[in-house]
Each structure stands twice: as structure tokens, then as C-alpha cells.
Amino acid sequence: MSTVKTCLEQKPQPVVVISAKPDDKVLVALQLMRDNRVRAVLVINEDKLVGILTQGDCAIKVLLPGLDAKQVMVKEVMTPDPLSVRLQDPIEACTGLMATRNFRHLPVVEAGRVVGVISIGDVVKDSIRQMGQQIGFLETYIKGHSADLS
């Protein structure tokens, strides 16, 4: 069974947490997303996770109502107190959370400190990696036992 830690280890190293501050303007958060090719930023205040802001949040809560991303603060539109996972949590549990709660990003927090983020894409890649390993094991098993049939 794969864990969040295993999934994070598959990402390019070192893992960089892209974050904004609650008092930053939404435009700053959007620029961070663009520059780092991510679709969400964690909102961190004094080393504590206080929220998450996604592109969807920006579109629905800022763009659609006609607000100005240069004026609106992150804390006004972020999702506060996001659900997080730990390094030892099984990936299958994260997949379930993402599917049932419609999350695409889960912050990873260990000892009160953010150590990364896993996305639905990371979870899918981890599942594909695991399936590849299982296929390899089965092929080896079958090849090893096919000699017994001769």
C-alpha cells in the first residue's frame, strides 16, 4: 500500500510549497500559480496553514462577481482551514477524500508544518506506478512458473 510520503517522493525534488499570505492580493496568488504552473496555492500565516486558494476560487469568487484581483485579498476568497493529510496516510484514503469531497489538492502537514501538497494528478501517477510494479511482479511470476509446465 502506497503512502502520501511515497507519492511526494515521486515528485521533482526538492518539494517546494507554493504559498501566499492571507493579506496578499489575489493577483499575487494568481501570478504564483502561473509562474509555478500549479492550480492552487496554500495560504500560510506565521508557518501555519490557514487556507487554500485555487484557480476555481478566483474565477468563481472574484472574476464572476466582477471584483478586481488587484484589490481583493486572498483571505477574502480562500477556503479556510483546509483538510490536510499526513505522510503516513495511505494514498487510497486520499483518493477517497478527493473523490467524495471534490478536492483536487490536499496539503500535507507533519508536526504542524506544511511539507507538501498532493494533487489528483499525483495520486493518479502513483496508482499507475503501482500498477506497473504489480504487472512486473506478475510477469516475473508467470515466466518463472511457465518452466514448471514444460
pLDDT bucket at 137, cuts 50 / 70 / 90? confident
Q: Is the pLDDT of residue 146 over 70?
A: no
Task: Say whether domain 4-149 belongs to CATH 3.10.580.10.
Answer: yes
State the Cα torsion 71-77-80-85 to the nearest 10°. -110
73: CB partners within 8 A, 6+ apart: 22, 23, 24, 25, 26
In this predicted model, what pLDDT tens digit does every residue of 85-99 receive, in sequence order? 999 999 989 988 999
Q: Which residue, 86, 80, 16, 78, is CA-closest to 50?
A: 80
In this predicted model, what pLDDT tens digit does every residue of 77-132 receive, in sequence order? 999 999 999 999 999 899 889 999 998 999 999 999 999 999 988 888 877 777 77
Q: Is the pLDDT of residue 134 over 80?
A: no
In this predicted model, what pLDDT tens digit does every residue of 9-51 receive, in sequence order? 988 888 889 999 999 999 999 999 999 999 999 999 999 999 9
Mean pLDDT of the region 133-141: 76
DSSP codes joined into one string, 39-104 = SEEEEEETTEEEEEEEHHHHIIIIITTT--TTTSBHHHHSEES---B-TTSBHHHHHHHHHHHT-S
Q: Is the pLDDT of residue 55 over 90?
A: yes
103 phi and psi, to 5 degrees? -95, 150
